[in-house]
Structure 1
Amino acid sequence: MKKIIAICFVALVFQSCADMLEEKNKSNAVPDYFNTIPGFEDAVKGAYSFMRSFYATERGMSLTVFGTDEYTNGSDGSFKFVNQYTSQFDSRTSILSELWTDFYRGINTANTAIDRADKIVGLDAAVKTTRVAEAKFLRAQFYFILVQLYGPVPLTLNETVTASTEAHRAPVPDIYDAIVADLEFAIANLPATQPNWGRATKPAAQHLLSRVHLTRATVDPTATPQEEYQKAADLSNEVLTKYSFKLLSDYAKVFEQGSGEINEEVIWSVQYTSDPLTNGGGNNAHVFFLMEYDVQPGMQRDIANGRPFKRFKPTNYTLGLYDRAKDSRYDKNFKQVFYCNKPGTYTINGKSVTLATGDTTMWLPGVELAPEVIAAKNFQVITPSKYTEKLFPSLRKYLDPLRPDVTTFEGSRDFLAFRLAETYLIRAEALLMLGQPGSAALINTVRRRAAFAGKEADMEIADADVTLDFILDERSRELLGEQHRWFDLVRTKKLLERVKLYNAQAKDNIKETSTVRPIPQDQIDRTSNSDGSLFLQNPGY
């Protein structure tokens, strides 16, 4: 199955993209090109590429992983203030303006395809409908991320062909109306599967819309929560029952590079590639969650263990979520043993130790051990009391050992944006909020998969055990680091409560206004509305 990959090029005042499947350079494209069949196809493919600005990047990861109950900052200095909610996190923060700009380019690329579809001579009607549905799926996703991050944002549903300084922030209900309309069109017109992996499909649109309704229930003041929850429950049930998706038998297999990128659990993913000419900035998630292993005795940086940025350090809350006697996800999420790749003689535990290649050089057992147990080891034992901003359990689901060298930042893994385990948890949450039974059975499906062999029954819960906090805990166990958490805590109104409880670096500065991000200053500065209205900053910034 071929993947859909796109490369960007500039046309007029917006950025669009060319067909990466053929790797043609269309950097000299002119506006009329989009009135042709190849140009229309390239515009649709091009819209996909802007998802790479958010998923598996420093921008998207910093804005969704930092400042939550799951992760706090490691020693790396970049964007610590996003985690800490200090005054340094303001409208001049680069990742905010970069994401804003890229997403509006993506929106305008999608708008171009949508607006021009009916003008293209010879375009097959069925292909046109499918491609427009893809563009609307992408436009909805862009706006859904924007409205969650920034609140009211400009809502533009037609192609912009000339420069303008007019910009008005649309009300949140209007933005959600547009998102829902786009996704309902996508559901009605997308196929269940696509010949190119990575293209939008009907179940991908249903999954996304179920997440939209789950969110809208609490963030849109005009919404009727019970109606939104019912729609979320119904749409997620469609994904669970009408298609051939299924959970893999092994949680770790979902994240295996290569086979794990295309499997029966993946509903939709953002595409990356090993070709440096067409990979853009690449999948960068592999660097952010790793501890500083490479300066420890017996260790040096290598491709297999990754390039450690020491950016995201798991909180004690996260590390304590797993019942490690029955839940395999701690072992499968966190790297616990390092093997020597720099042989030599070192002082470890107060004694001289000679390490050969392949010997154990570090162990992170995840629990405290008696001093005499540690002293008897011929390798470092890093227990929780020894965790620092440089030494902590490393999340390994994003490791990218296929990078060509130890310094490569542009990883090639796809980012699994929608997967079936989350669909189960979306429906479980919707049923809980509706006061309907069945949440436990859905959660148990996910938990049984996570169990050690023979412990499946021990992992099961009853409906009486299901609370919103339990679902948030289960989402963390299952979806750790997958760019959901900040959004989850905002929509459940749990951000302040949980950050104050579990994130020591953030708890003193987070406030009510932290549930939206600052509007980029360059957007405010370049806006000059003819009616004299101002493009206002979000409160608190």
Structure 2
Amino acid sequence: MKKSILSGVSKGLIALALLIAVDACKKPLDDDPIVVGESVVKTDEEAYALVNGALGPYQTLSSSFSFLVESSSENTVSFEGEESEAGPEVSRFEVKPTNWYPVKVYNRLYKSIGITNDAIEKISASSALSADAKKVSVARAKFLRGLFYSYLVQLFGEVPLVLETGKVVTTRASINDVYAQIVKDLTEAEANLPDYDSSPINPSKGSANAILSRVYLVWGNVPLTQDQIAESANLSRDTEHIHIETSRLNKAVEHADKVINGGKYRLLDNFNNIFGKGNESKAPEHIFTIHHDGDGIDAQGNHQSHCSFTFAFELEKDNHIGPSNLERYAQWDATDKRREYSYTTVLENPLENNKKYSFLPPITLPRYGKFIDRTYPNSVNLCIQTNEIDRIEIRYAEVLLNKAEALVALGRNAEALPLVNQLRTRAFGNTTKNLTAVTVNDIRKEWALEFTYEQKDWFNAVRWKTLVSSVKSVKDFEYYDDSYAVSGKVGKDGNTVSPFFAKVHKHLHAKYNNVRGKHYRFPIPTGEKGEDLGVTPQNPGY
């Protein structure tokens, strides 16, 4: 069993850390007692365990990010349960403040932040710890707090900034104030973290700089404010507020360079070796990962593996989440080695003497392949039961694209070219498909090809201010055609329409008809028990 953040941490200490979590917005999210009074941190191990507790709530979000941000794009549909359930609602752009996925993500991020706040205070106040343990454990807590706030501000916009325990905060801080705090936390963390850790589940200077490159790229594209979103919240068009802040984009380049020039990380030679249980905690491409031991062992298994391959080789059944079209698959050059691992169309079943199954129309659509584990005997079938694949929070390829995108925005396209070509050289196994010049569209296409089903599409579209137009591109998809509207009829392709493709048609039309400017962020949700968190005003349009 792998160990998270600090080796040797006992389950009892992690449970203790979870007990002291404070819901930063309103009140504790459960009825567990809050540990108060004199610091309970008396040993170095307890200090690290206290920080480690912040990963408990965050672990449970690995698959929730998929349902929230993958389904809120043109490329993905969710058929998780009945059409009235949370996943399909997000997929159809009918999300409400009570939808389980924003509720879960918002509340558990704040619960994790509450744990980091408590850890920082108690560890800083303790006189029983070694100087090194105090320094590194506080740095880890600040790294995590910065990471958690980076998701909150992108998903929900202006959010309450809660930096200490014992306070109820419902006032929403400005976008710039939240980003300034994120940068402060990550910068202070970077100063005191070790240069490198061979296990990517442990934060290091490399992971802090990698996340800083991401944060500065987003902030440098000047995120929309509440008032700006309100202007087009109920309109089916993108915002006209498109600006960049060059000093922040230069910082994105600077922090990416610290990772690139540090010499500790690199692209793996084989794209397929990035993913799967057998490739965890040793790949030099992994910079920071979220550890999973699987269902019933950690806080919650990584259900990205289960939900993208829910019924394995039962082709007629609807996966919980999957591609909405074949058009994106067609973007790949046939010789691009990323294609079949990203959009899997053919797979052998080890339980049937490696019988080949085709995941293609008119039966079904391809499966997202990155979390179909293929690294140990019969893992294709077993992994969707155990859900034990670690989630890759950030990998070296993202740092390359963060820098390349920032450089192109700064007009330094020639400097971005070799970064993009590193990815293409690996993808094709040689330099024959390398670009001779790079444009904004080249960068955006490379994001799509490299990071399919890694929770980038929605964040990218929001950063580029193209969300509405991107989603409306579904009108050009095969299954948007009205000949696929009714199961049992004959579709445009000449085949009888199955219930699966009738549902795909329904979701594509719902995406096109429902997407609005308000979807540049999700609604401020209720608490996990349905309570009003008191955070006002609500995001425009909800």
Correspondence for 2:400 among 424, 445, 462: 424
Q: Where in structure 2 are the equivalents of 1:345-494 lying within 5 Å? A: 357-358=352-353, 360-364=355-359, 382=360, 384=361, 386=362, 391-400=364-373, 409-436=385-412, 437-452=414-429, 456-463=430-437, 465-467=438-440, 469-494=441-466
Q: From the CA coordinates, give the structure whose radius of gyration is larger.
A: 1
Aligned-pair distance for 1:309? 3.0
| Structure-1 separation of matches of 2:299 and 2:279 | 22
Aligned-pair distance for 1:489? 0.8
Correspondence for 2:467 among 488, 495, 503: 495
Matched, 1:218 2:221: yes
| Structure-2 separation of matches of 1:278 and 1:340 | 27
Specify the code of the residue in structure 2 equivalent to 1:248: L
| Structure-1 separation of matches of 2:315 and 2:392 | 32
- Report the counterpart of residue 478 of structure 2 in structure 1: none
- Report the counterpart of residue 107 of structure 1 in structure 2: 113
Matched, 1:65 2:70: yes
Q: Secondary structure at the match of 2:393?
A: strand
Per-residue CA deviations over 1:124-164 (Å, capped at 9, x if unaligned) read 1222111111111100011110010101111011122x7x4
- CA separation of 1:462/1:31 partners in 2, compared to 1, >3 Å: closer, same or farther? farther
- Is the Cα–Cα contact under 8 Å of residues 291 and 392 in structure 1 kept in the other structure? no
- CA separation of 1:11/1:291 partners in 2, compared to 1, >3 Å: closer, same or farther? closer
- Report the counterpart of residue 3 of structure 1 in structure 2: 3
- CA separation of 1:330/1:311 partners in 2, compared to 1, >3 Å: closer, same or farther? same
Matched, 1:143 2:122: no
Q: Secondary structure at the match of 1:267?
A: strand
Correspondence for 2:331 among 315, 321, 337: 321
Aligned residues: 468
Q: Secondary structure at the match of 2:331?
A: coil
- Report the counterpart of residue 234 of structure 1 in structure 2: 254
- Is the Cα–Cα contact under 8 Å of residues 247 and 264 in structure 1 kept in the other structure? yes
- Is the Cα–Cα contact under 8 Å of residues 251 and 450 in structure 1 kept in the other structure? yes
| Structure-1 separation of matches of 2:164 and 2:34 | 23
- Report the counterpart of residue 82 of structure 1 in structure 2: 90
| Structure-2 separation of matches of 1:241 and 1:200 | 18
| Structure-2 separation of matches of 1:419 and 1:540 | 35
Q: Which consecutive unaligned segments of at least 5 residues does structure 2 have?
A: 6-10, 25-31, 226-242, 476-507
- CA separation of 1:117/1:336 partners in 2, compared to 1, >3 Å: closer, same or farther? same
- Report the counterpart of residue 209 of structure 1 in structure 2: 212
Aligned-pair distance for 1:122? 2.5
Q: Secondary structure at the match of 1:269?
A: strand
- Is the Cα–Cα contact under 8 Å of residues 34 and 43 in structure 1 kept in the other structure? no
| Structure-1 separation of matches of 2:224 and 2:55 | 31
- Is the Cα–Cα contact under 8 Å of residues 34 and 40 in structure 1 kept in the other structure? no
| Structure-2 separation of matches of 1:28 and 1:84 | 40
Q: Which consecutive unaligned segments of at least 5 residues does structure 1 have?
A: 17-25, 298-306, 343-356, 365-381, 529-533
| Structure-1 separation of matches of 2:50 and 2:329 | 44
| Structure-2 separation of matches of 1:248 and 1:13 | 38
| Structure-1 separation of matches of 2:422 and 2:382 | 39
Specify the code of the residue in structure 1 equivalent to 2:327: Y
Aligned-pair distance for 1:362? 2.9
| Structure-2 separation of matches of 1:252 and 1:407 | 17
Q: Secondary structure at the match of 1:85?
A: coil
- Report the counterpart of residue 179 of structure 2 in structure 1: 176
- Is the Cα–Cα contact under 8 Å of residues 255 and 261 in structure 1 kept in the other structure? no
- CA separation of 1:292/1:31 partners in 2, compared to 1, >3 Å: closer, same or farther? same
- Superposed CA RMSD in Å reads 3.1
Per-residue CA deviations over 1:314-339 (Å, capped at 9, x if unaligned) read 43332122011x31111232333344
Identity in percent: 25
TM-score of the superposed pair, with normalisation by structure 1? 0.79
Higher strand proportion (structure 1 or 2): 1
Aligned-pair distance for 1:293? 5.2
Aligned-pair distance for 1:234? 1.3
- Report the counterpart of residue 50 of structure 2 in structure 1: 43
- CA separation of 1:190/1:411 partners in 2, compared to 1, >3 Å: closer, same or farther? same
- Is the Cα–Cα contact under 8 Å of residues 284 and 409 in structure 1 kept in the other structure? no
The answer to which of 519-528 and 66-75 deviates more is 519-528
- Report the counterpart of residue 157 of structure 1 in structure 2: 163
- Report the counterpart of residue 342 of structure 2 in structure 1: 333
| Structure-1 separation of matches of 2:522 and 2:315 | 38
| Structure-2 separation of matches of 1:451 and 1:132 | 43
- CA separation of 1:406/1:207 partners in 2, compared to 1, >3 Å: closer, same or farther? closer
- Is the Cα–Cα contact under 8 Å of residues 76 and 311 in structure 1 kept in the other structure? no
Matched, 1:255 2:275: yes
- Is the Cα–Cα contact under 8 Å of residues 322 and 368 in structure 2 kept in the other structure? no
Specify the code of the residue in structure 1 equivalent to 2:536: F
- CA separation of 1:217/1:411 partners in 2, compared to 1, >3 Å: closer, same or farther? same
Aligned-pair distance for 1:407? 9.5
Q: Secondary structure at the match of 2:54?
A: helix
Per-residue CA deviations over 1:241-269 (Å, capped at 9, x if unaligned) read 11321111110011142234421111010
Correspondence for 1:312 among 322, 329, 332: 322
Aligned-pair distance for 1:359? 6.2
- Is the Cα–Cα contact under 8 Å of residues 108 and 159 in structure 1 kept in the other structure? yes
Q: Secondary structure at the match of 1:417?
A: strand
Matched, 1:278 2:297: yes
- Report the counterpart of residue 518 of structure 2 in structure 1: 513
Per-residue CA deviations over 1:425-457 (Å, capped at 9, x if unaligned) read 1111010000012111100001100114xxx22
Specify the code of the residue in structure 2 equivalent to 1:482: E
- CA separation of 1:430/1:111 partners in 2, compared to 1, >3 Å: closer, same or farther? same
- CA separation of 1:132/1:466 partners in 2, compared to 1, >3 Å: closer, same or farther? same
Matched, 1:127 2:133: yes
Per-residue CA deviations over 1:99-134 (Å, capped at 9, x if unaligned) read 222111111111112122232123112221111111
- CA separation of 1:72/1:295 partners in 2, compared to 1, >3 Å: closer, same or farther? closer
TM-score of the superposed pair, with normalisation by structure 2? 0.79
| Structure-1 separation of matches of 2:133 and 2:279 | 29
- Report the counterpart of residue 368 of structure 1 in structure 2: none
Per-residue CA deviations over 1:272-302 (Å, capped at 9, x if unaligned) read 115x5531211111122237554459xxxxx
| Structure-2 separation of matches of 1:104 and 1:52 | 13
